[in-house]
Structure 1
Amino acid sequence: MEWMKELETAKAAAVEAGKAVMEIYREAAPVRVEYKEDRSPLTAADKAANQIIIKALREGFPEYAVLSEEEQDNKSRLEQDLCFVVDPLDGTKEFLKRNGQFTVNIALAYKHEAVMGVIYVPAAGDLYYAARGYGAYKRTSDGEIKRLKVSEHTDTASLRVVASNSHECAQMNELIEKYQFKNLVKMGSSLKGCLIAEDKADIYYRFNPTMEWDTAAMQCIAEEAGAVFRQMDGTVMTYNRADSLNSKGFYIVNRAENLLV
């Protein structure tokens, strides 16, 4: 199946949502923060981006289900083969730090598999996107488009590693200590997976739990660029599940030979 109509709609919605995010990002006054039940931050930028994306997706594909971080979950989505998985602002903590490391994520799951992914980086104007069997691409702020392909690095000593900027964990610290990575970058949001897709990093391990909307778009882009994406126990990550928590963690590696856990 082709997913071009869904992809074009998601790309346009992500860019439009990103513009709304940046309007709030550039405001001189401090951003007001609310906290959800899980203590994760919520801002006007999250809400504005969500409104734009949900409107575009429901107008374009009214028969598809939608799972969004900022929407009340409607479990009737479980009866649907097609479900958009949305994180209107991935990296809200980075947004509040004003470091530019936040993204807008839109994915499409078909029969529990991520078949389309869009990640927009509002602060940079870069757009990453992919669809199953179509490949992965990056469109820069100046309009240049390039196809993405992971690196072929297999030398452990020179592996380029990305890790979370705001979610440290003991297991990752132990891995860093064990291998003494010379090329380690800590970064926020789904940008870490995008770096692997475009041959700027080789491995990313996430031991901490995440949510479906954190990984769906990133997985499709990384896999279409040639990366290996699995849960920490080696099983396939699925989407549009009853429980949206990615409890097992996950890893992305440029090549299977570089799996260190």
Structure 2
Amino acid sequence: MAALRLIAERAGKVILQYYVDAEEITVRQKDDASPVTDADEAAETFILGALNTLTPHIPVVSEEAASAGEIPEIDGDFFWLVDPLDGTKEFISRNGEFTVNIALIEHGVPVAGVVHAPALAMTWTGAGEGTANFSETDNPPMKISVREIPDEGATVVASRRHGTGEKLEQFLASRKINDRVTAGSSLKFCLVASGQADLYPRFGRTMEWDTAAGHAVLLAAGGDVWTLENEPLDYGKAGFENPDFIAEGVHLDAGFESAETEG
């Protein structure tokens, strides 16, 4: 994990070179109407080079390359999933809530992952149950884990930009909710993994590179991510698009059936 963390943090430094100077942020639209900047592309170029040096035999699926139709064969046991700048809209709005996401997938499961928030100088890592860590720059890593849901009810974290909607409200109606918070990018997974929130429901389009690294950290912290069919979210699907999902510290069946029906 040390090598993976170093790659993510160095990619973060590449991103910050653009972030510190607003005049350097040039925004373009991709075919799916989502934004992309020079920072996305520069960070991806760095990560792809670093991973190809670290594991030349393992293919890499990365957001910007995949958007351009550059998708390698992933018929082996392993492949990497990379989002070089998750939360491009947060980057553009300069609120700090963007991340570098790198995950290793084995047979559809995210077995290792790092989420690095360059502007916050925070990093989360995980590579198997009980290995989840959080660290701030120049400080030693600390173990993190999910928590039991408090008696007063769960804290739900939702997307800063997609945190409302009828389907979400229908799902939450079946849960005892005490508090609601918002966060950008993969930080939502990290809040659940560190016991600062209890669940992150997502009803809407996401791609595998958006979720794999945070999912790996959450798995390492004792949680998991579930589809509305109550099955673990897996990776390597055709098109790399995720279904609706619920990321949880403690898995409860409540609400899955109603959310699926309402969809």
Match of 2:260 in 1: none
Q: Among residues 235, 239, 249, which one is paired with 2:244 in the alignment?
A: 249
Match of 2:261 in 1: none
How many residues are paired up?
A: 253
- Give ranges in structure 1 of 5+ residues lacking alignment: 1-6
**Deviation above 6 Å: which 4+ runs of structure 1?**
177-180
Q: Among residues 8, 17, 23, which one is paired with 2:2 in the alignment?
A: 8
- Residue 212 in structure 1 maps to residue 208 in structure 2: yes
SS of the residue aligned with 1:233? coil
Q: Which amino acid in structure 2 is aligned with residue 88 of structure 1? A: P
CA, structure 1 residues 37+58, in 2 after alignment: closer, same or farther (shift >3 Å)? same
Q: How does 1:50-129 map to 2 (within 5 A)?
A: 50-72=44-66, 73-129=69-125
Which TM-score applies when normalising by structure 2? 0.89
Is this contact kept in 1: 2:103–2:213, CA < 8 A?
yes
SS of the residue aligned with 1:196? helix
**Which moved further from structure 2: 30-39 or 101-110?**
30-39
Q: Among residues 216, 220, 223, which one is paired with 1:227 in the alignment?
A: 223
Deviation per CA, 1:216-261: give whole Å up to 9, x if none. 1111110110113211221122212332000x21111121247443
Which TM-score applies when normalising by structure 1? 0.90
Q: Which amino acid in structure 2 is aligned with residue 50 of structure 1? A: E
SS of the residue aligned with 2:73? helix
Is this contact kept in 2: 1:203–1:258, CA < 8 A?
no
Is this contact kept in 2: 1:150–1:226, CA < 8 A?
yes
Match of 1:165 in 2: 160
Partners of 1:210 and 1:43 lie apart in 2 by 19
Is this contact kept in 2: 1:112–1:238, CA < 8 A?
yes
Is this contact kept in 1: 2:81–2:105, CA < 8 A?
yes
Identity %: 35
SS of the residue aligned with 1:9? helix
Q: Which amino acid in structure 2 is aligned with residue 94 of structure 1? A: E
CA, structure 1 residues 154+180, in 2 after alignment: closer, same or farther (shift >3 Å)? closer
